[in-house]
């Protein structure tokens, strides 16, 4: 396993649409392990493959309940609304207020390419929405209400 370099806002790779994963290879498994390690080392709660420069539809999330690996994820349902601070490892030192659904149901494949569904509320719902947008080349800064501001001691997502 290895820590990968996190790409930052302004890097073109963060604006691209990622490709579906068609089969699980050793290389992709290593990528997933590296993404988890990179996310934990950066104290993030989520990381998408384009953030480490790989244009594949893969995200990893851990909101404190253990790692979630989502390959080719899709949102099936959303409900409600939450408005709160959001940050991104690709936009270091900044955060901003974003409104997201308060509930999300999603479908994805795991590292074995087995399909699963996941439901999340609050931070998990926010993280799923945030990470999936990276796969289509979008950053949360496009959705910030008001101004981006400097993070004091707040946790980054
Ligand atoms: Zn992000």
Range list of H helices, 24-151: 26-41, 122-134
Q: Reply yes or no on whether 131 is catalytic.
A: yes
- Separation of 113 CA from ligand 1 center, angstroms? 24
CA distance 110 to 118: 11
> Quick one: CATH architecture of 12-156?
Alpha-Beta Complex (3.90)
State pLDDT tens for residues 97-107: 999 999 999 99
On whether the pTM is more than 0.85, the answer is yes
Domain-by-domain residue ranges, the chain? 12-156
Q: Which residue in the list 131, 142, 145, 157 is annotated as catalytic? A: 131
Averaged pLDDT score across all residues of the chain: 96
Asked if pLDDT for residue 156 goes beyond 80, the answer is no
- Separation of 129 CA from ligand 1 center, angstroms? 10
């Amino acid at each position: 396993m290895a820590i990968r370099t996190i790409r930052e806002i302004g890097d073109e790779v963060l604006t691209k649409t990622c490709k579906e994963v068609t089969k699980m290879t050793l290389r992709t498994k290593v990528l997933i392990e590296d993404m988890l390690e990179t996310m934990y080392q950066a104290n993030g709660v989520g990381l998408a493959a384009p953030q480490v420069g790989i244009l594949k539809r893969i995200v990893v999330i851990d909101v404190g309940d253990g790692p979630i690996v989502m390959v080719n994820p899709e949102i099936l349902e959303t409900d409600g609304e939450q408005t709160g601070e959001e940050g991104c490892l690709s936009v270091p030192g900044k955060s901003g207020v974003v409104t997201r659904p308060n509930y999300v149901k999603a479908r994805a494949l795991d590292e074995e390419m087995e399909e699963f569904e996941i439901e999340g509320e609050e931070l998990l719902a926010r993280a799923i929405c945030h990470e999936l947008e990276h796969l289509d080349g979008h950053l949360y800064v496009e959705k910030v209400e008001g101004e981006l501001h400097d993070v004091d001691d707040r946790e980054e997502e």
